[in-house]
Homo-oligomer: A and B are copies of this chain.
Amino acid sequence: MKKLINSPETVVTDALAGMAAAHPSLSVDIENRVVTRADAPVAGKVGLVSGGGSGHEPLHAGFVGYGMLDAACAGEVFTSPVPDQIVIATTAANGGAGVLHVVKNYTGDVLNFQIAAECVADEGLHVERVLVDDDLATDSGLADGPGRRGTAAVIAVEKMCGAAAERGAGIREVAALGRTIVTRSRTMAFALAACTHPDQEQPSFELADYEVGMGVGIHGERGRERAPFGTADDLVDTVLTPIVETLGVARGDSVLAITNGLGSTHPLELHIAHRAVALQLAARGIHLARSLVGPYVTALDMAGCSITLVHVNDDLVTLWDEPVRTPALTW
C-alpha cells in the first residue's frame, strides 16, 4: 500500500508543517506537536483542549479555532499524546477561567491527560475532564471493563462546549454540558475495507468481498463481528437501530446525525448513507434536527462510515448553530 509520505517517522511533523503553511492563522508548534488558536489564551474564557493519536484527521487540530478548541495535541499515528504535550496545550489554552480536557476513552489518552491535569493542578490551574465514550460496539456492559471507546461524538462535545465557552459559561458549567452531551450520544461504525498503518505493508485486517466489519474501531480494530455486505440502506439500518434503541430516542424526539467517513469513502457514498439515516429516522418519527456529513473522525484510509446520533433539545441545537471558525468546521 503506497502512501504519500516522506518517511513513516516524519508523518505527523510533516503534516503539521503542511497545516501551518495552509493555515497561517493557527499557531503550530511542530516540535511539540501542539496546534493553538492564534489568539490563545483568550482572557476570561474557559479553554478547551483535546488531542489523541494522529491518523484521525481532521480531528483534533482541524477543530482548533473560534467557537471550538483552543489547543490540540497530536500523538504519533494511533498513539496517545504524551503528558508533556498536553501540559503545553493546557497552559496555552489557559485564559484564567479553567481548562476543559475533552478526552476520548482510550487507556493511554485517559492516563496521559490525567497525568497532565495533575501537573497543571500543581500550578493552581483548574482542569475538568469530559470523557467521551460513545462507541456502542464496545459496550460490554461490564462495570470493571475499559468501557466504551470514544469516537465521533467528540465533534458534538467540542462544538457545543466551545460555543458555551465563547458565551462565557464557567468551567463547571461547560464540563457538565459536555458530560450531558456524552450521555445523549452513541456511535457505531462499519468498514468495507481496513486501513493500513504508514509503517506497515498490510492492512490491519482483511475483509472478503461479501462481508463488512461491523463495530470497527478508529485504530483499525477489526470490529465486533463480520456481517454480510449489503446495500447502503441495509448497512445503515444495522448500525442505526441499536443506536436508536440504546439512546431511547423515539417519535417526536430530535437528533443531530453525524454521518462520518472513516477515510477513503467518497462523498457520494457518504451522502447515500446519510439519505438512509434521514429516511430511517423519518420512518420512526424522529426529527433530524441537524446533520453533519463528511470525513471528520477518520481511521487513516479505512473504507466505511460511522453513524452518530446525539439526542438534542433546543438548547443543544442553538449551541450547535453558533458560529464556529476552524479549518474543518466553519459556519
Which A residues have a C-beta under 8 Å from some C-beta of B?
Answer: 2-7, 11-12, 14-19, 21-23, 54-55, 57-58, 62, 77, 192-193, 209, 212, 229, 231-233, 235, 259, 263-278, 288, 291-293, 295, 298, 300-301, 303-305, 325, 330-331
Residue in contact with A5 in the complex, picked from B272, B278, B301, CB distance below 8 Å: B272
When C-beta atoms are compared, the residue in chain B nearest to A273 turns out to be B4
> Whole-angstrom distance between the alpha carbons of A304 and B235 in the complex?
28
How many copies make up the complex? 2
- Pick 30 A–B contacts, CB within 8 A, sort by A: A2-B209, A2-B229, A4-B192, A4-B232, A4-B265, A4-B272, A4-B303, A4-B304, A4-B305, A5-B231, A5-B232, A5-B269, A11-B268, A14-B271, A15-B269, A15-B271, A18-B278, A21-B275, A22-B292, A54-B268, A57-B267, A57-B271, A58-B267, A264-B266, A264-B301, A265-B301, A266-B298, A266-B300, A266-B301, A330-B330
Q: How far is the CA of A124 from the CA of B275 in the complex (A)?
A: 39
Neighbouring B residues of A270 by C-beta, 8 Å: 4, 18
Q: Nearest residue in B to A22 (C-beta to C-beta)?
A: B291
B2 touches A193 (CB 8 A): yes
A-B pairs, 8 with minimum CB distance: A18-B271, A264-B264, A21-B278, A18-B275, A57-B267, A4-B269, A18-B274, A22-B291
Q: Could you say which of A7, A77, A267 has the most chain B C-beta atoms within 10 Å of its C-beta?
A: A267
Minimum CB distance partner of A212 in chain B: B2
When distances are taken between beta carbons in the complex, the residues of chain B under 8 Å from A2 are: 192-193, 209, 212, 229, 303
Min CB gap A98→B, angstroms? 30
Closest chain B residue, CB of each to CB of A300: B266
Q: Which of B5, B15, B233, B271 contacts A22 (CB 8 A)?
A: B271
Chain B residues positioned under 8 Å from A15 (CB to CB): 267-269, 271-272, 275
Known: A4-B304, A232-B6. A57 touches B275 (CB 8 A): no
Contacts of A57 in B (CB 8 A): 266-268, 271
Alpha-carbon gap, A267 to B193, bound state (A): 18
Chain B residues with CB below 8 A from A62, complex form? 267
Known: A18-B274, A21-B277, A21-B291. 16 other contacts (CB 8 A): A2-B192, A4-B192, A4-B270, A5-B272, A6-B232, A6-B233, A14-B275, A15-B267, A18-B278, A19-B271, A22-B271, A57-B271, A77-B268, A264-B301, A264-B303, A330-B330
